[in-house]
Amino acid sequence: MLGRPAVKAVVNAAQERARRGEIAPEEVANAAAAALPQGPSSLRGVVNATGVVLHTNLGRAPLSPVAIAAVVKAAGHTDVELDLTTGRRARRGRGALDALRVAVPAAAGVHVVNNGAAALVLAATALAAGREIIVSRGELVEIGDGFRLPALLESTGARLREVGTTNRTALADYAAAVGPDTGFILKVHPSNFVVSGFTSAVDVADLATLGVPVVADIGSGLLAPDPLLPDEPDAATTLNAGAALVTASGDKLLGGPQAGLLLGDADLVERLRRHPLARALRVDKLTLAALEATLRGPEPPTWVALRAAPAQLRVRAERLADALDDVDAEVTRTAAVVGGGGAPGLELESWAVSLPERLALPLRTGEPPVLGRVERGRLLLDLRCVPPDLDDAVAAAVRKAACTS
C-alpha cells in the first residue's frame, strides 16, 4: 500500500525516462510497476546469519514477539500519560519504569531516554556542566561510526579531567583529581575492545569511597549477572558496589528497543528527570511499550541466540546442508560473537553452512535478504542468530541464489 505522492513520483520518473529516450513510451507502465517500492517503508527485515548476535548495522537486538505485539497495541491512541480510572494525567511510561524497578531492585530511581549516549549526555549536563568529569585515559572510547565518548561529554559543557594512562589507572590518580569542581567520576565499560597485558583499572567499589558520585556507563544493559557472560558488568552489581548512577542501552544485552537507561540514586535520577534537556531526550510510546514487554516477557531473541546449544545448531546446519542437494554446501564449526553490544573477546561455539563466496551478493539482495559472513573465501551462514523456523526460508533463498548466480 502506497500513498498517491509515492506512486506519482515513480510514474513521473518512468515518464521522464521515456522522454529522454531511455525506454519506449509503451514501456512506461511496466517500468513504473517494476520501480514501485515493495511497501511504504524501505526498511527490510533481514535474516542475521552473520554469527554476530548484536549487529549495529542490523538494528542490534530484534524485539521479542511480546514486545512486537505491545508496539502494535501502543501504536494507536494509548493511555501513555493518562490514568483511565481518575481521568487525569498520569506519569508517562509508568509501566515501563515499574518493570525496570522490579528488574533492578537496587535502583531506587529509574528513567528512560532515547539511547545510551543520551543517558550519558543527560547525566553530564545535569551533574557536570561547567564542572569536571573525572575519567581514566583507558576508558575514553569510541562507540562506533566515529562517535567518541570524550567529544560527546564535552559537548555538554562539562570538562574532562583525564587521569591515569591508557593501560593503567590507580585509585590515587582519581583521588588526586577530586576537588571542588568535580561533577562526578565516570567509569566506562570498554564494551568493544579488550586491553591485556600490564593493565590495571579501579573498581566502582573503590571509586565510591572518594566522596563524589560515581556514574558507571556499563553499556550493554545487562541488568543482573549472568554466568554466560562472566566478565560483563551488570546494573545490579554495579549499583550495589556503590555507583550513584548506571547508564546503559536498551537494545544490546537487554534485548529490547533502542533506549537509554538511567538507574540509581532516587534524588539524582529525579534531578535528571526534571532537567529541561530531559524533554528533548524523552522516548515515545512505542519504545515504552516494547521496553516494558521485554522486561516482563519471556527471554528475548537475543538471549535465545546467546543460549542456543551448539549441538542443536550443528543438527540444524546438517539438515540445511542436506536440503541443498545441488549446491556446494558444507557444515562447519564457527565462533559466534556477542558483537558491539558487549562481551568483547568472548567466542560462542556455533555451526554454519559454508557456501561459495559468490552467493553472498544474491543472498543479500534476495527476499528475504540473508546475511552471512565471508571467511577465507567461503560464505558462512552461522545459525546461532537465525530463528529455527526460518531454516526452510534460508534453504529456499540459497537454492534461488545458486540458480541465479
Contact residues toward ligand PLP (CB under 6 A) are 115-117, 143, 188-189, 191, 217, 219, 249, 260
The three three-digit cell numbers of residue 245, written as one number: 548512577
> Which C-beta is closer to ligand PLP: that of 152 or that of 393?
152
Per-residue burial over 181-192, b = 16 or more CB atoms within 10 Å of its CB, e = otherwise: ebbbbbbbbebb
Helix (H, G, I), strand (E, B) or coil at 338: strand
Query: Cell 513520483 belongs to which residue?
Result: 9
Whether 275 contacts 126, CB under 8 Å: yes
Tell me how far, at minimum, the Cβ of 178 lies from ligand PLP, in Å.
23
Closest to 305 (Cα-Cα) out of 348, 340, 343: 348
> Which C-beta is closer to ligand PLP: that of 189 or that of 285?
189
Q: Is the peptide bond before 310 cis (omega within 30 degrees of 0)?
A: no
Tell me how far, at minimum, the Cβ of 193 lies from ligand PLP, in Å.
10
Tell me how far, at minimum, the Cβ of 135 lies from ligand PLP, in Å.
12
> Which C-beta is closer to ligand PLP: that of 213 or that of 372?
213
Tell me how far, at minimum, the Cβ of 162 lies from ligand PLP, in Å.
17
> Which C-beta is closer to ligand PLP: that of 115 or that of 156?
115
Query: What are the start-end ranges of the E strands in 49-175?
Result: 52-54, 82-83, 88-89, 109-113, 132-136, 142-144, 147-148, 159-163
> Which C-beta is closer to ligand PLP: that of 153 or that of 401?
153
Tell me how far, at minimum, the Cβ of 143 lies from ligand PLP, in Å.
5
Angle between helical axes of 116-128 and 266-274 (0-180°, round to 10): 100
> Which C-beta is closer to ligand PLP: that of 93 or that of 260?
260
Query: What are the start-end ranges of the E strands in 77-230?
Result: 82-83, 88-89, 109-113, 132-136, 142-144, 147-148, 159-163, 182-188, 214-219
Tell me how far, at minimum, the Cβ of 260 lies from ligand PLP, in Å.
6
